Chain A
């Protein structure tokens, strides 16, 4: 089971067109020939469209990340339990383990710094999500890309450097997940030269439909 038995579809489109605009986005990011520097958005200032309260500063970012990891962990665990993953099971199973590990890691980190954790929210998933692997992967792609956006969006907001390194280590794994899920869906696999990034409000707007309460 450690080798991937998935047949590689022959009609995959890797990435979207690399246009000049996309390059300019990266150029602007690093300030090449651009007149504007990125100003990191202050965490917690924009009201997220969610009932979840994350709080301020690094602990707030951790609780925000935890909410997303809770969602992914429950989602993948149910996917594995469903018995409908078929040929993508060798991919889905380790991802489920990763997401469960992320929940533990963030929970432990909050405990270590003496900050309250975030109670696990109740989630809801669209009908049919777990009835076949294609439906499942489509939802997985939404969560993985939202996760990548969330981590990328908080990079410059994290104050503690060791926390930043730990978050980056998790974020990279989410990037791998996103790429592989995209591949399995035969859709957009590489987002271009830069990772997508999103504010808390943008990411929570994506997640909100999956919150039960």
Chain B
């Protein structure tokens, strides 16, 4: 397995050495070796991707409808805020903040409005399912609360990106009566086409 948790362990050691540096979240969970920082780093890769994607989408000039431009602007600012918040939380937990990876997009991704919204929807969908898959694994209450909040926002993003581009209501705008979680491996595989070089945080796709 590539899940080395090196970054987390390094941070945990640093945190333990600093003695009480993690008091904000309570040191007990950290003494037990919570994987929260590592999970957050994975979420951060997803947030980097989303933020980067909406930045490029904005720069493409393909989104011209005023309502859609407003949506795009809101999506971008949400994701930028998520990047900052998640980065900050990883550091706060004593973890090593993963660097923004190299990102790649299929040719033509930003060449049309339809392609932009459909790709956005695919990324949002994978992202929210990835976070949901970790719901039971997060240990720190404040981190769990923040992750749940970000997840809910991503669900809104997924629905709206599907709605504006006219994807089917069920299986697009909605995803049945409840969301489907993804394992970390599946989520990594789903995002792999966009991530040119996986940061060495233990989340590299198996076999790469």
Contact = CB atoms under 8 A, between A and B. Distances in A.
Decide if A and B are genuine partners.
Answer: yes
B85 A193 contact: yes
A144 B128 CA distance: 19
A171 B152 contact: yes
Interface of B: 24-26, 65-67, 70-71, 73-75, 77-78, 81-82, 84-86, 88-89, 92, 128, 132, 135-136, 141-146, 148-153, 155-160, 163-164, 166, 168-170, 173-181
A142 interface: no
Given A31-B142, A173-B174, A175-B153, A190 B148 contact: no
A148 B146 CA distance: 14
A171 B149 CA distance: 10
A32 B85 contact: yes
A151 to B, nearest CB: 8
A183 B132 CA distance: 24
A169 B181 contact: yes
A98 B174 contact: yes
Contact of B74 (A15, A165, A178): A15
Given A31-B25, A155-B148, A91 B173 contact: yes
Interface string A93-115: 01101100110010000000000
Task: Give the one of A12, A152, A190, A191 with max B CB within 10 A.
Answer: A190
Contacts of B74: 14-15, 18, 189-190
Nearest to A161: B136
A206 interface: no
Contacts of A126: none
B85 to A, nearest CB: 5
A166 interface: yes
Given A4-B173, A190-B78, A180 B84 contact: no
Interface string A2-35: 1110001111111100100011001101111111
A128 interface: no
A36 to B, nearest CB: 8
Given A176-B174, A193-B82, 9 more contacts: A26-B82, A29-B142, A37-B141, A98-B178, A156-B141, A168-B151, A170-B179, A175-B153, A190-B153
A44 interface: no
B160 A193 contact: no
A190 B146 contact: no
Contacts of A32: 84-85, 88-89, 92
Nearest to A192: B78
B81 A172 contact: no
A192 B25 CA distance: 25
Q: State the 7 A-B residue pairs at the shortest beta-carbon distance, nearest first.
A: A32-B88, A195-B152, A179-B156, A101-B177, A30-B89, A172-B179, A161-B136
Nearest to A18: B77
A205 B85 CA distance: 31
